[in-house]
Chain A
Amino acid sequence: MKALLTLTGATYKEIIRDRMSLFWFLAFPVLFVLLFGAIFSNTASHTFHVGVAGGDGTVVGEAVRVALRQVPVFSLSAGTREAELEALRLGKRSLVIDLPDDSMVVSGQPLAVALYYDQGQQAMNQVLISSVSQVLHEIERQLTGRPTLFQIRVEAVQAQDLKAMDILLPNILAMALMQLGLFGSLRLVSLRERKILKRLGATPLPRSWLVGSEVVVRLTIGLIQALVLVGIAKLVFGVVITGHWLWVMSMVLLGAVVFVAMGYMLVAFAKTEESGLAILQVFQFPMMFLSGIFFPVDRLPSFLQPVIKAIPLTYLADALRQMMTGVAPLYPLTTNIAVLVAWLGVSLVLSVRLFRWE
């Protein structure tokens, strides 16, 4: 028992004194959160620049301007038709509304209103055009004095306001745990390469204690990593963690264990640290991009879907998202846990069977 404690202490010292790996495992995810957080928190307070041209001095023109100014996310600017369309071309407007100059309200004769938008911004246009149309219809109803047929009451269905960071934090945490687990396994390869495993093999120290101390140290770093990331997300970006911390930390531990075992399985045959790194990267890159942590994967080609469904990172990220910030789940939590445990089992068996000690 004394050996296990001393060895674990020695392993801590070894890793903490390795500034390079400490940077990759601790500082890098933090930088990631800060960087992405800064980018996404800007888009959250985004305002749409809407240009209005024509209709000066007409009843309709004034009514449209007044109505649009009341929409909080619209920043309104008025100018000549040419100037506003040029601004749209330059990307300074999201939408330009072109009103007729001789807008007389004549019953039964519709007024031609043109909406110009940037074709490159598909998703945003859907929202913009429908909200502008709604404003125009409202003005029409008021001006023509037609009775309202529908009284539409809009209510938020989502329980809480989700910000970009709420999705980003669990994703980055999942990614960090994967990196920690996979690349942490290289230490054992390097110990083997430098014949330290052989030297330890000549002592009465059981191999299981050696691996155990390595894993315990990884898990501790994983927990510290999670605490630091969550702390920054809370303090800097005001992310609210909805799940109970004990469950979240249990999931963090499960995720870390899965990827540690997977790492040992992948590097079992690697002769050198370099070849181990190469093998890990072959698996790590696709996992990172196909797990849905950076962009949605449902539109990727169908032949990739089985791969996406097999990747453990998909399930860890999904579990962390729904547990930490209440993002709508892709899979039930039980499915996430079952897949992760299955990966853990396979990786454990294969790494114990395949790992070469000499």
Chain B
Amino acid sequence: MDAIMVSGLTKVYGSLRAVDGIGFSVARGEVFGMLGPNGAGKTTTTEILAGLRHRDSGDVRVLGLDPGRAGNVLKTRISIQLQSAALYPRLTVLETVRLFASFYPDSLNPVIVLEQVGLRSSTRVLTSKLSGGQLQRLAIATSLVGNGELLFLDEPTTGLDPQARRALWQVITGLKDQGKTVFLTTHYMDEAERLCDRVAVVDNGRIIALGAPRALIHDHFRERAVEFADPTGIAANIDLTRLPGVTRMERHHQTVTLYTTEVTATVENLLAKAGGNGSAIDEFNVRQATLEDLFLKLTGRRIRE
């Protein structure tokens, strides 16, 4: 049986359809990501799955239970990290994690969990004295310590520096190795690509793509992306989509992205045209398509705008 099953889930706030009839399932032991811009409905979905919010319609099963009715039976088996790290201000880091450990029947050793999130040296610091990144890691520690079968992490790496992000990726990979199911939301494509077995790309409350990151990219792009900065506006003067192999072009400020099936032919012709035209091409870069490219293709917008 799947860890999470969702079908036709809808949540309306006034005239806003925050979640608009989405459906997906998450297998046990899977790391599943919800990827999308702010306001796409990721947090609302997470909170409905964790039993913190009521849905308007649709069917939801989490570990076989309806989170809207299961109450504490379900809450002992799942852990959640909320986006706003809200903790008692006058408890120390260790006291906070101990407190959350006491709520769960099968909790982990608080000190070991703090070690994992890199707060071992701050155990005696009051939470009100922590930096934003430290607070975020403490919030994650309070969800890890419950040792649930299923973890909900809502934007776990937002506000973290690159080093702390990588450390947290390791923790999440470790959870997967232990056979735990992880449901996370993010607006970082690299995070989703690196961590998630499968992702649901969401926009305006709907799922616009669902599957393994590589497969999604492969399905939508047989092409590679040829990207460059175009300060002199060659893309405006020459129709670059007529270059050999090019299927599509995207322009965003000064950055031009050409999606091509024949990288060598495209690049040779592009450079020849630019040279003949006297245009300056900078920050030249050939890469695989990413989830960001996918989002752009499907919505016409970038994720973080």
Contacts and interface: CB of A to CB of B under 8 A. Distances in A.
B167 interface: no
B232 to A, nearest CB: 50
Interface stretch (B84-92, B111-119, B221-229): B84-92
A2 B88 CA distance: 19
Contacts of B52: 198, 201-202
A14 B90 contact: yes
Contacts of B99: 6-7, 10
Contacts of A194: 86, 89
A224 interface: no
Contact of A204 (B76, B87, B88): B76
The secondary-structure label for the interface of chain B is loop
B102 interface: yes
A116 B89 CA distance: 66
In this complex, the interface size class of chain B, counting residues with CB under 8 Å from chain A, is 20 to 34
Interface string A1-44: 01101110010011001100000000000000000000000000
A345 interface: no
A205 interface: yes
A206 B72 contact: yes
B98 interface: yes
Contacts of A206: 72
Interface residues of A, number: 21
B104 A14 contact: no
A122 interface: no
Contact of B90 (A5, A17, A203): A17
A199 interface: yes
Given A202-B75, A203-B100, A204-B75, A13 B90 contact: yes
Interface of B: 50-52, 72, 75-76, 80, 82, 84, 86-91, 95, 98-100, 102-104, 126, 142, 146
Which of A194, A199, A206 has the most chain B CB atoms closer than 10 A to its own CB?
Answer: A199
B75 A198 contact: no
A202 B84 CA distance: 13
Contact of A202 (B80, B87, B91): B80
B100 A196 contact: no
Contact of B102 (A3, A195, A196): A3
A199 B79 CA distance: 11
A143 to B, nearest CB: 78
Nearest to A200: B103
A195 B82 contact: yes
Nearest to B52: A202
B183 to A, nearest CB: 13
Contact of B82 (A7, A18, A202, A204): A202
Given A6-B98, A10-B88, A14-B91, A203 B104 contact: yes
A3 B103 contact: yes
Nearest to A14: B90
Contacts of B90: 13-14, 17-18
A195 B81 CA distance: 12
7 contacts: A6-B102, A13-B91, A14-B89, A195-B84, A198-B82, A201-B52, A203-B103
A205 B95 contact: no
A203 B146 CA distance: 9
Nearest to B101: A6
A202 B102 contact: no
Nearest to B88: A14
A170 B98 CA distance: 41
A18 B128 CA distance: 12
Contact of B50 (A18, A195, A202): A202
